[in-house]
Amino acid sequence: MRSGIAIAGNILVDKINKISSYPPEGELTKINEISLAVGGCVPNVGIDLKKIDSSIPVYALGCIGKDSEGEYALNVMKDNNLDVSMVRYTDKKTSFTDVMSVEGGQRTFFTYPGANSEFGETDVDFDNLKADMLHLGYFLLLDKIDAGEGEKILRLAKQKGISTSIDLVSENSDRYRIVLPCLPYTDNLIINEVEAGNITGISPTKDNLVVIAKKLKKLGVIDRVIIHTPSLSVCVSNTAETLVSSYSLPQGFIKGTTGAGDAFCAGALLGIYRGWSDEDILSFASASAVANLSQPDATSGMRSEDEIRELVKNMDSQ
């Protein structure tokens, strides 16, 4: 019998370079500090899920290179109790992002697609996959997935009786249409308002979120469309339209926003896996995002389910 959640797709390493200022073209600046962190859908959502509920089996599916960055990503996932037996090595270098982080200011990102561009249909061994839920992300960052293999993976999962969900990355392009063929094989679509607006061509104002979610549901999403924004989350399912306001956070609470969307996704996946109501799914997903915001990196702010509920117990809604 299948059990657990497989998180498939994007695995990378963030190389964070702290600098005092970003130099003009042709000039030099000093890097004051260098650190590494895992990034991408698979490590972020997978680690968050294990922190929230350590009893749920979580399987990592993706591609890494035969290099120190790949070993680093693999070891971090292992240390957080993810099953990494289906992570595949490729001849390409492990995907990474060089982050230029100005102290007290903005960050600039330079990403290398690397091994992630190799991830595709043949990397999901359905005959040996033990999970009964498969989450695939991020669309628009995975070459083979975006070229049609994402649709094949989702279709095969449905044929095997595995529940499916997907998410995207936000980009300023017209490529969002590539996701449309995947929707009829997607049980749960979990995206932010920018992505939702770009897929449908409808301005993602607060008043339009339910309209957008309904359109996405009509385009084929099977169970529910979840759209999250900083102030509100919306779910349109087969039975209801649900809106839940985000938590009002104390001044100075937010230490960073990296991985907040992944944290929301992890909380939503837990609720879906447990069979919660749409309202409970949104409420807990929002609370999971709050936990993430308490620390500057993508996963260290995450807590257990009980600790998350305690964290937001006395917080008001926006």
- In whole angstroms, give the CA distance from residue 127 to residue 112: 31
Domain presence at residue 111? yes
Domain assignment present for residue 25? The answer is: no
- pLDDT < 50 stretches in the chain: none
What is the model's pLDDT at position 104?
67
Domain that holds residue 152: 5-18+36-312
Q: Look at residue 77 and tell me if it is in a domain.
A: yes
- Within a domain: residue 30? no
Report the CATH number that the domain containing residue 45 is assigned in CATH: 3.40.1190.20
Say what the pLDDT of residue 102 is. 84
Provide the number of structural domains found in the chain. 1
* Residue 178 lies inside a defined structural domain of this protein: yes
Looking at residue 22, its pLDDT comes to 87
**pLDDT for position 184:** 98
Note the pTM of the prediction, 2 decimals. 0.94
For residue 23, being part of any structural domain is answered with no
The 10s digit of each residue's pLDDT in 112-171 is 999 999 999 999 999 999 999 999 999 999 999 999 999 999 999 999 999 999 999 988
318 occurs within a structural domain: no
Which among 114, 119, 74, 117 is positioned nearest to 98, based on CA atoms? 114
Checking phi first, is residue 292 left (phi over 0); if not, alpha (psi -120 to 50) or beta? alpha
276 in a structural domain: yes
Q: What pLDDT sits at residue 109?
A: 81
Residue 1 amino acid letter: M
